[in-house]
Amino acid sequence: MVPRMRRAMDDWMSSAVRDALKTTNLKRRSGRMQKSLKAGVRVTGVSINSLKGVIRGEPYVVIHEYGGTIRPKQAKALTIPLPAALRADGTPKRRGPRSWKSLGTFVYKSKNGNAYIAYKQKSSGKLILLYLLVDRAKVSARLGLRKALKKRQTELINSFGYIMATEMRQFDLRPGSIKLRVARAQLGRNFRPVRV
């Protein structure tokens, strides 16, 4: 019974991940987050009481699910890539701000006080802004995994109920029967048959 419940829980969680990824307003860039979430569904447990499901993913999945404020850990500022530093699909052209040093990048302060990492094109002398520098960035919750899991909760409950009902049909639950002892072994010591 527990292996069937594990499979049902795995299917439920995988469906919820697919739903969340379909309905999120996050722009797909490299696809790493989606791949990690789809591959990160894990259900463990050897009894009904120990069944546990976990969805693992890239480290930044948590901030997209719950929202929050990101602050720099090792640098003075966060770098937000601007269109000049991104490909058409939204992925970075280079690894990060330091990888642009060969072009002679510098910090440019605009009249309104914003700071940018920029460089001047040699041919035209035009200023190209690569990154916006900020002291923190607020990220709103927009992945929706919890919402998708909650939306499909009755599906899991119905699956568990069906699995338990089909398993219970094979037990003889009269007091003292061997099958009652087997039922208690599979369902836990505190199992008490209910007369219907």
pLDDT tens, position by position, 57-102: 998 899 999 999 999 999 899 999 999 999 988 889 999 899 999 9
Confidence class of residue 174 from pLDDT cuts 50, 70 and 90?
Answer: low
Place of tokens 């061997």: 178
Q: At what angle do helices 2-23 and 32-39 cross, to 10 degrees?
A: 160
CA–CA distance from 81 to each of 75, 92, 95, 106, 125 (Å)?
Answer: 15, 8, 11, 15, 21
Cα distance between residue 32 and residue 30, in whole Å: 6
Predicted confidence (pLDDT) per residue in 45-59, tens digit: 988 889 999 999 998
Buried/exposed code over 145-164 (b: 16+ C-beta within 10 A; e: otherwise)? bebbbeebeeebeebbeebe
What is the average per-residue pLDDT within 139-147?
A: 92
Q: Give me the pLDDT at residue 170, please.
A: 67
Domain boundaries, the chain: 2-67+140-187, 70-137
**pLDDT exceeds 50 at position 196:** no
Task: Give the percent of the chain with pLDDT over 90.
Answer: 60
pTM over 0.85? The answer is no
